[in-house]
């Protein structure tokens, strides 16, 4: 996997000014989807090959004299040492990246690896070295799936392999005293009912498992409350990567202690038997799981309005903190309560069939989760972010991304709430762009020219999308043709749908410079409507 700093189009800068970029952790390409675009069918998700990535952390002094934590990804080329600016024909692309001023010798990835190996050898008596990660297909993350997370203090310009001190200041469990193995061959913690974690949390059941670890339900024996614990794999690269989420979650809690903006809060983190553990409140299922168990039936319109207001408020809060979530999707939105009632609804277009049962939520209260790939706008941006269905066109076209990519993902999510199924179900970049043009109309000419300069393989002469290519299958062509224009997906039959359609259209705009911001979206007339109970 190779990542690179992508130039930001000049037309995006007035809407979202960018401070200097610095290095941060990237992420692996997310999973993809292979099912047709229409119908209430279960999405079949293709698991891409999981790429092993090695991390190390250093501290560097920037050009303002501030000490910054830097996560180094071993298989990623280092950022350029000069501010890149590329002029392509009449359109200019540039970034505000400034070279990092080092207080010592330049730290290369080879030097970082050598230091990490030497330090690991010197601390081998107090640290359990987990088996190397195997290349395997990626487990698709569940609502509380393990992910990457944020930094803690380290020695200047030295990688760390030492166990962290607890977030609460308690003694770290010594793995050398454990006789019975607690890990499987891939470094995942073996979950056993009634196991005591950190001498405080009694495990109840496994909630989910992802690439970076497992999530378990547990009882806090100090408060007798149930919590969720994300247990990171006992492999150094995952331990290092987990610092990103800790850093982000700590900042969110500091800035919003009463959780008015509905982002998950970190209660505690600690090191247990060489596993970094993140403790949070226990909530209900994710919205994708609710849709799946409800046969992908769409939500009532008053519920969609409630979800939209909460999500836009959460993301606007992140953007005010100069933080981009980058992985907004129904799987990363948890219901606070699972309670629902059932109603009988007629089957559309089938008079003779008996009505089917539909679940209606009792509460629409939600929480936004999974900040493992969240990125501060003034830090390093990975080339590819977002799960495929919710990925903005500027990411696919390599034009650079910032806050508007979250707005695009929210637009896709709101359409999915309205129809019950994902708006763009594809696994191919060119096919994805062709579907976008079917839904939203042709790309603006200026934006298409910019895309053609960045990704000429996707375009013909004149800035037209090169679809279909000669190698396109019949199935692929059918799936693109099956995509309907947005006004057919959300027919403007009444004032509610007309305002909802307008909001979604502005969130899904091709050009991020023309895309509505999440803060402005909160002031859209759609949210001034009183939507009656239509159940």
Output the DSSP codes for 391-446. Answer: --HHHHTTS---THHHHHHHHHHHHHHHHSS-S---S-HHHHHHHHHHHH-SPPHH
User: How far, in Å, CA of 82 to CA of 59, rounded?
Assistant: 20
User: How far, in Å, CA of 81 to CA of 92, rounded?
Assistant: 20
Instruction: Give the dihedral of Cα atoms 31, 34, 38, 42; nearest 10 deg.
Output: -70
User: How far, in Å, CA of 426 to CA of 83, rounded?
Assistant: 36
Residue in 420, 292, 294, 293 with CA at minimum distance from that of residue 358: 294
Is the CA virtual torsion 184, 188, 194, 198 positive or negative? positive
What is the residue whose two structure tokens read 């290092």? 240
Residue 92 sits at the vertex; the CA angle it makes with 428 and 78, to the nearest 5 degrees, is: 65
* Catalytic residue annotation: 327
User: How far, in Å, CA of 206 to CA of 228, rounded?
Assistant: 10
User: How far, in Å, CA of 314 to CA of 168, rounded?
Assistant: 27
Residue in 524, 128, 209, 534 with CA at minimum distance from that of residue 343: 534
What is the residue whose two structure tokens read 């005293």? 177
Spatial contact of 316 and 522, defined as CB atoms under 8 Å apart: yes
Note every long-range contact of 171-174, with CB atoms under 8 Å and residues 24 or more positions apart, other chains counting: 172/270, 172/271, 172/272, 173/198, 173/199, 173/271, 173/272, 173/273, 174/126
- Phi, psi torsion values for 275, nearest 5 degrees: -115, 125
Structure tokens at 9: 């189009």
Is the CA virtual torsion 184, 189, 193, 199 positive or negative? positive
């Amino acid at each position: 996997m190779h990542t690179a700093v992508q130039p930001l189009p000049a037309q995006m800068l007035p809407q979202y000014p960018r401070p200097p970029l610095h290095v941060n952790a990237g992420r692996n390409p997310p999973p993809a989807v292979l099912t047709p675009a229409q119908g209430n069918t279960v999405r079949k998700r293709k698991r891409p090959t999981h790429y092993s990535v090695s991390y190390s952390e250093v501290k560097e002094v920037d050009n303002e004299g501030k000490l910054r934590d830097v996560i180094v990804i071993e298989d990623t080329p280092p950022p350029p040492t000069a501010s890149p600016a590329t002029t392509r024909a009449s359109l200019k692309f540039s970034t505000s990246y400034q070279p990092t001023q080092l207080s010592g010798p330049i730290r290369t990835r080879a030097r970082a690896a050598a230091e990490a190996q030497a330090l690991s050898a010197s601390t081998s008596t107090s640290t359990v070295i987990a088996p190397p990660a195997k290349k395997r297909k990626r487990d698709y993350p569940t609502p509380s799936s393990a992910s990457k997370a944020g930094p803690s203090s380290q020695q200047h310009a030295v990688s760390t392999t030492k166990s962290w001190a607890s977030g609460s200041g308690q003694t770290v469990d010594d793995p050398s005293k454990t006789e019975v193995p607690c890990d499987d061959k891939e470094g995942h913690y073996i979950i056993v009912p009634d196991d005591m974690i950190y001498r405080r949390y009694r495990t109840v059941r496994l909630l989910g498992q992802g690439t970076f670890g497992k999530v378990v339900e547990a009882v806090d024996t100090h408060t007798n409350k149930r919590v969720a614990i994300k247990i990171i794999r006992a492999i150094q690269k995952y331990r290092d990567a987990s610092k990103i989420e800790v850093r982000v979650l700590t900042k969110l809690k500091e800035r919003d202690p009463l959780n008015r903006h509905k982002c998950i809060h970190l209660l505690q983190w600690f090191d247990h038997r060489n596993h970094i553990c993140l403790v949070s409140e226990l909530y209900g299922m994710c919205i994708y799981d609710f849709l799946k168990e409800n046969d992908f039936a769409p939500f009532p319109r008053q519920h969609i309005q409630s979800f939209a207001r909460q999500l836009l408020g959460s993301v606007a809060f992140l953007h005010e903190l100069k933080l981009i979530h980058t992985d907004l999707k129904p799987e990363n939105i948890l219901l606070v309560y699972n309670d629902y009632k059932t109603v009988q609804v007629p089957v559309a277009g089938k008079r003779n069939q008996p009505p089917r049962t539909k679940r209606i939520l009792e509460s629409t209260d939600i929480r936004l989760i999974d900040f493992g790939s969240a990125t501060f706008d003034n830090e390093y941006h990975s080339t590819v972010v977002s799960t495929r269905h919710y990925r903005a066109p500027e990411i696919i076209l390599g034009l650079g991304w910032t806050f508007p990519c979250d707005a695009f993902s929210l637009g896709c999510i709101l359409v999915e709430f309205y129809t019950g199924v994902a708006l763009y179900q594809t696994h191919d970049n060119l096919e994805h762009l062709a579907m976008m043009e079917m839904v939203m109309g042709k790309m603006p000419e200026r934006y298409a020219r910019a895309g053609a300069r960045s990704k000429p393989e996707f375009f013909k002469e004149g800035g037209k999308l090169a679809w279909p290519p000669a190698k396109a299958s019949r199935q692929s062509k059918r799936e693109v043709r099956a995509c309907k224009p947005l006004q057919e997906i959300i027919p403007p039959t009444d004032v509610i749908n007309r305002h909802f359609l307008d909001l979604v259209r502005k969130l899904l705009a091709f050009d991020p410079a023309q895309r509505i911001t999440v803060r402005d979206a909160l002031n859209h007339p759609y949210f001034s409507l009183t939507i009656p109970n239509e159940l």
